Structure 1
């Protein structure tokens, strides 16, 4: 596939990812139980995966398929979501958001260490710009996060979790035609685990939370599907996919936060937006 196709998949994934975050943020202000919405999200994502991708489940049983990766994703997706909620509770939103975005470090390193991408001067410049952009975009005045014991433990779990999930999605993309079956198995397992968690928590179900989850599931499915397709379209450029995805989400998320949710945007944050766009420009092959 062409570079243009890969970038189109990436652009779609970025928009859907930011839409997921905006939906959860808007819902939280209206009393949304995100746990129920996330559970329904996996139900909808599983349904869409089955109906639209028509996975051949028999291929999952073949020896060459990375079943362990599919199962790991199914466990990590809901687990890291719960860790994210715990991190927000104990460490605050600023530290948690920083940890989630800084997880870019893990897939970037994996692009050169695990996936064998050649480290050129141009890519080194792109990585440097991306790292500087992250620091500028995430710099916010502290409002006194909690001093409890989990103030740094849980953000660290979030950082490691999201970084590993990114790498696993790249590995899933290498499964070829069987990736749709792997994606379905990951969604189903995530939904089952989320349901068990809600049952253990004796959750009082609400129709509004589940209806929000339907829209969330459609956006999340589109986000993950197009992200994997971007990796498949650009198999030799994992660092490009990782960087453009994360930088794109941060830039668009920052702008949406400022315009839709009136989040303050400093001059340093604006510099971060420009540096992130510069990083994307530098890393796109000519």
Structure 2
């Protein structure tokens, strides 16, 4: 379980880094671009990934391109979300995104909707409503909903794309590297254009921050994969431990490390999120 603990720690670390980025004068686009350079190098060195296996089948091209766009975009959305609603709500939204891909699985990919899955989806929807409720601003205040809901939808779309790539026969490591490379190229085009137009000069501070972000981002992925490899007969345990762990640790870090205020209804939402993940893991 040490791998799952490390995966949880690095997942929350990504949220913490994005939380402090603005106060440190970090250009998030430059940081995200550098992040993908680091992540791609680590995928080659530690996973032995090669992009060829992922691009040989034409069926992988569309989801890979979508991943190349969605992966950097989700970082920008994550950064916006942790700034506007905090680490707790953002991490819960990220973890509940799995129910978006679950819904897509039975709606479009031929999966069967069981009672357990339906219960999990219902609990997840209730959890989202409770976690995002901000009594001091009103239940429908736009700033309290837009960013975390974009996180929810974005990570769900990313999961669907990875499922489509896997269905086409591409190994996970190869698909990961290919998507990193596409994202890296797109991000660096944006960085160079912004630098050329003097909108955001490249700074060593932002690039160095990107190295930290890339290392934490890849470590989260690596240790999660290692957790599945260490417990090949208990995928549900790994799945539940990772997602519940991030919700719990993210809540502790946000509430006590960054003094994020949570109402009783938000704590109820966190409990419902854990219940939804547990139901999904046991189904």
TM-score by length of 1: 0.75
In 1, Cα distance between equivalents of 2:149 and 2:121 = 21
TM superposition shift of 1:37: 1.4
Q: Is the 8 A contact 2:135 2:263 kept in 1?
A: no
Shift, 1:244, TM fit: 7.3
> Are the equivalent residues in 1 in contact too, given 2:50–2:177 (CA < 8 A)?
no
Give distance in 2, aligned partners of 1:157 and 1:268.
Answer: 21
CA change 1:172–1:221 in 2 (3 A) is: farther
Alignment of 1:77-92 (within 5 A): 77-82=71-76
SS class of match (2:282): coil
Following superposition, the deviation at residue 178 of structure 1 comes to 2.9
Match of 1:178 in 2: 171
2:34 matches 1:44: no
Q: 1:20 to 1:84 in 2, by over 3 A?
A: closer
Q: Deviations over 1:124-156 (max 9, x none)?
A: 222222222222222113549xx99x9998877
Q: How far apart, in 2, do the equivalents of 1:151 and 1:208 lie?
A: 30
Does 1:198 find its partner at 2:200?
Answer: no
- The answer to whether structure 1 residue 68 and structure 2 residue 62 are counterparts is yes
**Secondary structure in 2 matching 1:284:** helix
Are residues 74 and 229 of structure 1, via their aligned partners in 2, closer, same or farther at CA, if it must alter by over 3 Å?
farther
What residue ranges of structure 2 are gaps of 5+ in the alignment? none
Distance (whole Å) between structure 2 residues aligned to residue 273 and residue 156 of structure 1: 16
Secondary structure of the structure 1 residue equivalent to 2:201: coil
**Partner Cα separation in structure 2 for residue 153 and residue 113 of structure 1:** 24
CA RMSD of aligned residues (A): 4.1
Task: Give yes or no for the alignment of 1:209 onto 2:206.
Answer: yes
The answer to whether the 8 A contact 1:12-1:223 is kept is: yes
Q: 1:252 aligns with which of 249, 253, 261?
A: 249
> Which range is displaced more, 39-48 or 22-31?
22-31
Match of 1:93 among 80, 84, 93: 84
Q: Label 1:158 to 1:266 Cα distance change in 2 as closer, same or farther (>3 A).
A: closer
Helix, strand or coil at the partner of 2:120: helix
CA contact (8 A) 2:14 2:217 kept: yes
Give the match for residue 17 of structure 2: 23
Residues 29-70 of structure 1 show CA distances to partners (whole Å, capped at 9, x for unaligned) of 222222221111111001001111222444345337623322
TM-score, with length taken from structure 2 = 0.75
SS of equivalent to 1:268: helix
Structure 1 unaligned segments of length 5 or more: list them: 1-6
Q: How many angstroms does 1:24 deviate by?
A: 1.4
> Is the CA contact 2:7–2:223 (under 8 Å) kept in the aligned structure 1?
yes
1:1-286 equivalence runs, <5 A: 12-63=6-57, 66-82=60-76, 93-94=84-85, 97=90, 103-141=97-135, 143=137, 160-174=153-167, 178-202=171-195, 203-225=200-222, 248-285=245-282
CA distance in 2, matches of 1:51, 1:193: 22
* In 1: Cα distance, 2:47 partner to 2:207 partner: 24
